[in-house]
Amino acid sequence: MLIRRFVTAGTLAIALPFCAHHACAHEGTGHHGGRIVDAGPYHIELVTKDRRVEVTIYDAKEKAVSPAGFKGTAILVVGGKPARVVLAPSGAGLSGEAEVALGAAPKGVVQITGPDGAAASGKFN
Amino acid sequence: MFPFRLPAAPHALALALALLALPFLSAHLAGSVQAHEGHDHGAPQAPVSKTIAPRGEASSAAFELVAIPRGDAIVLYLDRFATGEPITDAALEVETPSGPAPATPEADGRYRLPAPWLAARDPGQDHLDLVVTVTAGADVDVLSLAVALAPARESAAAAPTHAEHASEGWMQGLKERLTEKFAARDPGAGLFAAGGFALGLAAMALMRAGRRAPVLAVLVLAATLVLGATAFAHEGHDHPETRAAFVPPPTDLAQRLADGAVFVPKPTQRLLSLRTQVAAEGAFRRTVSLPGRIIPDPNASGVVQSSVGGRLAPPPSGTFPRLGTKVRAGEALALVTPPVQRVDLSDMRQRQGELDQQIAIVQRRVDRYLKLSPSGAVSQVQLDEAQDELKGLKDRRTALDRIRQEPEVLTAPVGGVIAEAAAVAGQMAAPGQMVFQIVNPERLWVEALSFDALTPAADATARMADGRTLPLAYQGAGLADRNQAIPVQFAIQGGSEGLRVGQFVTVLAATDAEQHGLALPRASVVRNANGQDVVYAHTAAERYEARPVRVAPLDGSRVLVEAGVTPGTRVVVQGAELLDQVR
């Protein structure tokens, strides 16, 4: 009985940090149906619709950050060619218009520059 | 012996141990939890050694990029991810703090990005975030690159400590110093721990005894000791920043790091021409190595022998063919004149005389019959008979002459090259003696001795002493035992330049048994100082790690790695020997 309790406690003690570790590497779908990746101290969500690029910034606890003071650039590969999109604050995130229609999930990099001037980027594959 | 009651001992011991363990445990847990809180996966790794300049690297499925700030520019090195081959003609567009800018290729294969904004950066900034768009032929990729920057002088002094981290930092500092001291087997650290333990015991005992004031006194004493120890440690301990001031400027030398990995900067990688290959698992036929010997193809080689004993003479062309001369099939190589014995000679002379005499008689008869035949005195039949007899006698006489004079012509049975020549003018050749051996150098075989029966369709290769390999095609195996082995013959496929008949080779023939593993070129496996087989895995852009492996022979040019490397690892296949020399 005692042994079982010890084993349970030990397993939990070992497993919990691992769970926490996995939880923080949260690549996946975000609140707006886009892909979420890490970018420096932030998490960013990328949503592309036709030619429009929308980026939402979250902090480490998945809370949306006001885009005021942020600027950004998205470089997305579409049809074997890179498309550079300048992002500016609009609404709850950063957004911009590309010159060509982007697919549903183009691969590329989104770089954001915070109000403090530090840049961070997230890679979308 | 002790100033407290014995039953209290286990509790006190547990408490004291818990007190001791707490900082370590909390620091450990805090560390793992902090991984999320601190959220620094985007930040570049600290330089692996003080002598290596800060840098940044990024990689994708196609490319591997390294960026090193040098003065007011950033130098970029671009390579293929899988092979490590430098790409020198790509177009690089970099997203810098002052907008997009191209990096221009330079003559030595690197790219240079002018970075005047580097001087104007925020001194507190320890890394630079760049986005590089790489276009190399049909491959386009966007790489996110975090470049570490050398700490600015003033930033180190003014590095602010966040209020909420202050206590944690103190605890962390104490823990680090203690660990350091324990690691250095400092007796002070042991004393410190023992003192803490004793104080804990004392506090517990006094608490049990119900005395408040002494407990307080012990705790105050403990606090003083701990704080004092920290203060002393602080004084005696060098700040990393002050220590860093005496470190010579980074030189970027290839070096073996403390963890056994090898750091090789990109310029050195290019100098050593390091190339990698992504290891892939597969099923391979096991091979056996057999001792073999090169033999001429039986259908494309021949010997020239004299069928009669006789005197050798050069062919009508005037000279015997030398070694290495190319000959066609049917070409005359030598003449053999059979000698005529003395007794045979007299016999022949006698026979010749007889024949001459008979010819003279018959000739006269024919002449006479010719005169008489028109008048009908001699029948036509008689004349014809006499003429036939004369013809027969003359033929016999000619044959006798020819036998005395005509030599036997030795001709080449096949086309090829004279591999062996034993002809000297005037030499007496015995019947059956080999005068020339002809070999077609384009068609050579290998005969190997196998101790077990090989599968007929198996592929094989021959490895020569100089490391060259020859592809072989199975021809057949004998059944007759020779030295407890059976001879197996293979035809050499492709070019056979520089081979000679009789040369020893090692034949690697595939067997039925299949093995699973990773096939790597033979040159990728090197032996380290303690005699272990290792391969070098390319784990980061400028980092190579030796991985001990178990290898089995596969064929002439490859080995099979059975354990030690996982599929998908980039393994150094060229220059591993040079990499192994880095100290």
Residues B519, B522, B523, B526, CA torsion sign: positive
Least CB–CB distance from B42: residue in A39, A107, A108:
A39
| Most B CBs within 10 Å, among A36, A73, A75, to test the B interface | A75
Least CB–CB distance from B33: residue in A20, A107, A121:
A20
Residue the block writes with tokens 């250095």: B184
**Contacts with B84 (C-beta within 8 Å, 6 or more apart), sequence order:** B64, B269, B274, B275, B276, B538, B570, B572
**How open is the CA angle B573-B579-B582, to the nearest 5 degrees?**
175
Spell out which residues of chain B touch residue A118, defining contact as CB-CB under 8 Å.
Answer: 122, 125, 129
- pLDDT over threshold 90, residue B77: yes
pLDDT, greater one: B249 or B111: B111
Measured in residues, chain A has a length of 125
**Looking at chain B, which residues constitute the CATH 2.60.40 domain(s)?**
56-149
Contacts 24+ apart (CB under 8 A), A16-24: A17/B29, A17/B32, A17/B33, A20/B32, A20/B33, A20/B35, A20/B36, A21/B32, A21/B35, A23/B36, A24/B35, A24/B36, A24/B39
- Domain range B255-297+443-583, its CATH number among 2.40.30.170, 3.30.479.10, 3.40.50.1110, 1.10.10.10: 2.40.30.170
Least CB–CB distance from B144: residue in A25, A76, A121:
A121
Cα–Cα distance, B486 to B451 (Å, whole number): 6
From the CA of A57, how many Å to the nearest CA of chain B? 15
Highest mean pLDDT among A58-72, B111-125, B190-204, B525-539: B525-539
Q: Is A106 within 8 Å of chain B by CB?
A: no
**Looking at chain B, which residues constitute the CATH 2.40.50.100 domain(s)?**
298-338+407-440
- pLDDT over threshold 60, residue B248: no
Which of B455, B493, B490 lies closest to B475, judged by CA?
B490
User: Which fold would CATH assign to domain B56-149?
Assistant: Immunoglobulin-like (2.60.40)
Counting DSSP H helices and E strands in chain A, the numbers are: 1, 9
pLDDT, greater one: A110 or A4: A110
Q: Out of B83-97, B200-214, B468-482, which region has the weakest mean confidence (pLDDT)?
A: B200-214
Q: Is A86 within 8 Å of chain B by CB?
A: no
Q: Tell me which chain B residue has its CA closest to the CA of residue A22.
A: B36
Confidence of residue B246 (pLDDT cuts 50, 70, 90): low
Least CB–CB distance from A73: residue in B39, B95, B138:
B95
Interface of B with A (CB under 8 A): 29, 32-33, 35-37, 39-43, 93, 95, 97, 100, 122, 125, 128-129, 131, 133, 135, 138, 140-144, 146
Q: Tell me which chain A residue has its CA closest to the CA of residue B36.
A: A24
Least CB–CB distance from B35: residue in A21, A84, A121:
A21
**Looking at chain B, which residues constitute the CATH 2.40.30.170 domain(s)?**
255-297+443-583
CB contact under 8 A, A109 and B131: yes
Contact at 8 Å (CB) between A31 and A56? yes
- What tokens were used for A56? 């939402």
Q: Helix, strand or coil for residue B448?
A: strand
Confidence of residue A8 (pLDDT cuts 50, 70, 90): low
Least CB–CB distance from B142: residue in A40, A109, A119:
A109
- What tens digit of pLDDT does each residue of B434-469 get? 889 898 888 889 998 888 776 655 678 888 888 788
Q: Out of B36-50, B262-276, B558-572, which region has the weakest mean confidence (pLDDT)?
A: B36-50
Instruction: Say what the pLDDT of residue B163 is.
Output: 40
Spell out which residues of chain A touch residue B146, defining contact as CB-CB under 8 Å.
Answer: 121
Kindly write down the DSSP assignment for every residue of B20-57, as one continuous string.
HHHHHHHHHHHHHHHHHHH--TTSPPPPSSTTS---EE
The average confidence (pLDDT) of chain B is 78
- pLDDT over threshold 60, residue B4: no
Average pLDDT over residues B380-395: 92
Cα–Cα distance, B179 to B458 (Å, whole number): 62
CB contact under 8 A, B131 and A73: yes
Spell out which residues of chain A touch residue B37, defining contact as CB-CB under 8 Å.
Answer: 60
**Contacts with B330 (C-beta within 8 Å, 6 or more apart), sequence order:** B411, B412
Average pLDDT over residues B403-407: 72
- What tens digit of pLDDT does each residue of A99-116 get? 888 877 888 888 888 888
Residues A54, A57, A58, A63, CA torsion sign: negative
Residue the block writes with tokens 């036709």: A50
Least CB–CB distance from A119: residue in B97, B133, B135:
B97
Spell out which residues of chain B touch residue A39, defining contact as CB-CB under 8 Å.
Answer: 42
Kindly write down the DSSP assignment for every residue of B544-557, as one continuous string.
EEEEE-EEEE-SSS
Tell whether ipTM is more than 0.85. no
CB contact under 8 A, B129 and A40: yes
Amino acid identity for residue A66 in this structure: S
Cα–Cα distance, B346 to B394 (Å, whole number): 20
CB contact under 8 A, A75 and B142: yes
Percent of chain B with pLDDT over 90: 17
From the CA of A64, how many Å to the nearest CA of chain B? 16
With helix as H, strand as E and coil as C, how does B101-118 read? EEEEECCCCCEEEECHHH
Residue B217 half-sphere exposure toward CB, CA atoms < 13 A? 6
**Domain made up of B298-338+407-440: CATH architecture:** Beta Barrel (2.40)
- What tens digit of pLDDT does each residue of A30-87 get? 777 888 888 888 888 888 888 888 888 888 888 888 888 888 888 888 888 888 888 8
Cα–Cα distance, B304 to B318 (Å, whole number): 18
Q: Out of B57-71, B241-255, B506-520, B535-549, which region has the weakest mean confidence (pLDDT)?
A: B241-255
Spell out which residues of chain B touch residue A73, defining contact as CB-CB under 8 Å.
Answer: 95, 131
Q: Is A76 within 8 Å of chain B by CB?
A: yes
Contact at 8 Å (CB) between B222 and B199? yes
Residue the block writes with tokens 């005047």: B116
Q: How many CB atoms lie within 10 A of CB B555?
A: 22
CA B317 to chain centre: 53
Amino acid identity for residue B162 in this structure: H
DSSP state of B212: H
Which of A35, A93, A30, A31 lies closest to A66, judged by CA?
A93
Instruction: Say what the pLDDT of residue B71 is.
Output: 82
